């Protein structure tokens, strides 16, 4: 079965809007197989690893089945740990964002009982809790389940391993059997099958089976990186490895926009690619990437399907994919046409275990490395400069420049009257040139109107720190800039608007005027920041 796009599922508009806000485009395998069955009211046993999207696999149908006119608890989710209960609660709340009247409450040990009692008095329809605390509330008669429609055991095998079998039996036997019962488990031991036989009716077994996957011969690396460090580490990897053309994969559209905007602000030539973009926009982005007008393409898995570019030097898994098949597809974008390739995956916490699963099922070796330091980046820049110097030494007549150096040393010596030991030799001068050149590369504060920005010939592409989220329209940009400058509207080129940022192409002759004028203008009541979308130096 092919993975389904959420837009193609029979879901309410409110849930689709929430999924779009989160940035989800395509259902994972377990979601594609499970959601339609749960929507039909079937009992299901789902076998899936942690991190494959199973919370939404049961959370979406649970939200869709809530009747806000009925008081009382309609969905009960049992989890092995408080951490999972909290995490699942937050995830389901995000999906229920636009569903008015739905209340979700996590209950678990370690939290004050009074706080939970106040929460229960607000009449939540969805309870997500650990077995021990759920039983405690049932004994107190503060958890009333006579209107229960759906019961979910999440990570059932883990609950059994933790000794919750008796608690689970007590809870399930206390609830009427006119309910839908769903079990999710990473493994299928005998006890899970016994639970299914005892408490489910005509259940359907769903397995997100691991396929035999062949990983191309690509150097695969993993870096342990916290979320707030990822962009900085990404930029260092690109610079330290001197990578010219690369792809960065994120799990959601929102993250694609965020990462591409951050890289743009750091001076890289970046384009975003995801499902919210029109086909014409996608075609233009891909054309720029194939031509080398863009150095970095940040994309979701769905949007990147069918991309065939031979010169991609590296792939970055900014987010670890939910399925090992996605991982193989991603890294297969590099190392094409007999060329070498590299992949770098950023992982932290639970993602480390997901990456270990990927490594096991793909039978490949993913090497753990440390992020490059600033010294590593500078060393790469120096080595690149030396390579350029080598080519100059081998190919050009340097007599003219040797004379300049000799003259400089002679004049410098004549100007100094102190100790001759302080006079420079040719090595000193070469070192000074190298230092000045490096410092010049670091300082890029002043925009250069002649720098390549990926625009049409004679035009400059400008980055704007506003987008769809700010209700920005092309006419707002056009009116704001043309009103503040002498730029005729018919000379303005392409305008691309994304969620959080936008781009506009203007003639080179008007760039300085536009950049000066926009310091004092507002669009939709907000001060605008516009700067050249520079390629990395």
Long-range contacts for 346-349 (Cβ within 8 Å, ≥24 apart)? 346/223, 346/225, 346/230, 346/233, 346/234, 346/316, 346/317, 346/318, 346/319, 346/320, 347/222, 347/223, 347/224, 347/225, 347/320, 348/224, 348/225, 348/226, 348/227
Looking at the fold, whether 157 and 251 belong to one and the same domain comes out as no
pLDDT at position 36 is: 93
Residue 209's pLDDT band, with cuts at 50, 70 and 90, is: low
Looking at the fold, whether 115 and 126 belong to one and the same domain comes out as yes
Is residue 14 domain-resident? yes
Chain mean position to CA 399: 53
Structure tokens at 220: 């695969």
Is residue 447 domain-resident? no
Looking at the fold, whether 24 and 63 belong to one and the same domain comes out as yes
- The alpha carbon torsion through 285, 289, 290, 293 (nearest 10 deg) reads 110
Looking at the fold, whether 122 and 23 belong to one and the same domain comes out as yes
Tell whether the model's pLDDT for residue 308 goes beyond 80. no
Looking at the fold, whether 69 and 147 belong to one and the same domain comes out as yes
Domain that holds residue 123: 6-207
Choose the final residue of a domain: 351, 374, 397. Answer: 374
Tell whether the model's pLDDT for residue 449 goes beyond 70. no
Question: What's the structural domain count of the chain?
Answer: 4
The tens digit of pLDDT for each residue in 47-96 reads 876 667 889 999 999 999 999 998 899 999 999 888 888 888 989 999 99
Q: Which of 352, 370, 348 is nearest to 360 (CA)?
A: 352
Cα distance between residue 37 and residue 206, in whole Å: 10
pLDDT at position 417 is: 47
Is residue 104 domain-resident? yes
**Secondary-structure breakdown of the chain: helix, strand, coil percentages, each rounded to the nearest 5:** 45, 15, 40
Average pLDDT over residues 172-188: 90
pLDDT at position 445 is: 37
Structure tokens at 494: 């392409």
Looking at the fold, whether 260 and 339 belong to one and the same domain comes out as yes
Looking at the fold, whether 201 and 347 belong to one and the same domain comes out as no
Tell whether the model's pLDDT for residue 414 goes beyond 90. no
- How far from 201 is each of 42, 105, 167, 177, CA to CA, in Å? 8, 28, 21, 9
Is residue 1 domain-resident? no
Average pLDDT over residues 225-244: 89
CATH number for position 491: 3.30.70.330
Choose the final residue of a domain: 182, 207, 232. Answer: 207
| H-state helical runs in 27-155 | 29-39, 54-65, 82-95, 113-121, 131-140
Residue that wins the pLDDT comparison between 277 and 303: 277
Is residue 212 domain-resident? no
CATH number for position 329: 3.40.50.300
Structure tokens at 533: 């979308």
Looking at the fold, whether 141 and 202 belong to one and the same domain comes out as yes
pLDDT at position 63 is: 95
Choose the final residue of a domain: 350, 374, 398. Answer: 374
Is residue 34 domain-resident? yes
Looking at the fold, whether 365 and 502 belong to one and the same domain comes out as no
What phi and psi values does residue 468 have, to the nearest 5 degrees? -60, -35
Cα distance between residue 27 and residue 82, in whole Å: 26
Looking at the fold, whether 310 and 398 belong to one and the same domain comes out as no
Is residue 334 domain-resident? yes
pLDDT above 70 covers a percentage of the chain that reads 86
Average pLDDT over residues 205-213: 68
Looking at the fold, whether 173 and 105 belong to one and the same domain comes out as yes
- What is the chain's length? 537
Is residue 454 domain-resident? no
Looking at the fold, whether 281 and 143 belong to one and the same domain comes out as no
Structure tokens at 359: 């490594």
């Amino acid at each position: 079965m092919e993975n389904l796009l959420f837009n193609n599922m029979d879901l309410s508009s409110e849930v689709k809007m929430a999924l779009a806000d989160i940035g989800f485009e395509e259902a994972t395998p377990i979601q594609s197989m499970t959601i339609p069955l749960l929507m039909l009211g079937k009992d299901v046993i789902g076998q899936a690893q942690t991190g494959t999207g199973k919370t939404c696999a049961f959370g979406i149908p649970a939200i869709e089945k809530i009747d806000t006119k009925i008081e009382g608890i309609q969905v009960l989710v049992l989890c092995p740990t408080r951490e999972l209960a909290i995490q699942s609660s937050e995830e389901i709340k995000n999906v229920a964002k636009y569903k008015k009247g739905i209340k979700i409450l996590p209950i678990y040990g370690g939290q004050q009982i009074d706080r939970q009692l106040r929460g229960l008095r607000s009449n939540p329809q969805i309870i997500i809790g650990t077995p021990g605390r759920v039983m405690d509330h049932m004994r107190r008669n503060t958890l009333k389940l006579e209107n229960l429609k759906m019961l979910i055991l999440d990570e059932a095998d883990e609950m059994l391993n933790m000794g919750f079998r008796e608690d689970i039996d007590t809870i399930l036997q206390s609830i009427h059997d006119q309910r839908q019962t769903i079990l999710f488990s990473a493994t299928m031991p005998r006890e899970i099958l016994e639970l299914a036989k005892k408490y489910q009716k005509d259940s359907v077994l769903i397995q997100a089976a691991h396929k035999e996957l062949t990983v191309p011969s690509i150097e695969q690396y993993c870096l342990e990186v916290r979320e707030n460090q990822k962009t900085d580490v990404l930029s260092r990897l690109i610079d330290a490895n001197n990578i010219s053309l690369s792809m960065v994969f994120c799990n959601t559209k929102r993250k694609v926009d965020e990462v591409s905007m951050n890289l743009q602000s750091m001076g890289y030539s970046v384009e975003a690619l995801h499902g919210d973009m029109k086909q014409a926009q996608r075609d233009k982005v891909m054309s720029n990437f194939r031509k080398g007008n863009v150095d970095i393409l940040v994309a979701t898995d769905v949007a990147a399907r069918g991309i065939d570019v031979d010169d991609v030097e590296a792939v970055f898994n900014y987010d670890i994919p939910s399925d090992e098949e996605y991982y193989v597809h991603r890294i297969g974008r590099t190392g094409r046409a007999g060329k070498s390739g590299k992949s770098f995956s950023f992982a932290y916490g639970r993602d480390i275990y997901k990456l270990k699963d990927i490594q096991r099922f793909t039978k490949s070796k993913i090497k753990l490395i440390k992020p490059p330091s600033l010294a590593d980046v500078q060393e790469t820049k120096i080595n690149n400069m030396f390579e350029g110097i080598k080519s100059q030494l081998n190919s050009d007549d340097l007599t003219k420049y040797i004379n300049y150096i000799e003259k400089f040393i002679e004049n410098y010596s004549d100007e100094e009257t102190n100790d001759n030991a302080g006079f420079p030799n040719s090595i000193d001068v070469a070192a000074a040139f190298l230092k000045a050149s490096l410092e010049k590369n670091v300082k890029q504060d002043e925009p250069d109107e002649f720098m390549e920005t990926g625009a049409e010939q004679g035009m400059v592409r400008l980055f704007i720190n506003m987008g769809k989220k700010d209700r920005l329209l092309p006419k707002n940009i056009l009116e704001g800039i043309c009103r503040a400058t002498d730029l005729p509207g018919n000379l303005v080129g392409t305008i691309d608007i994304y969620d959080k940022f936008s781009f506009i192409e203007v003639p080179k002759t008007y760039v300085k005027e536009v950049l000066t004028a926009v310091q004092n203008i507002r669009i939709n009541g907000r001060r605008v920041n516009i700067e050249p979308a520079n390629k990395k130096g």
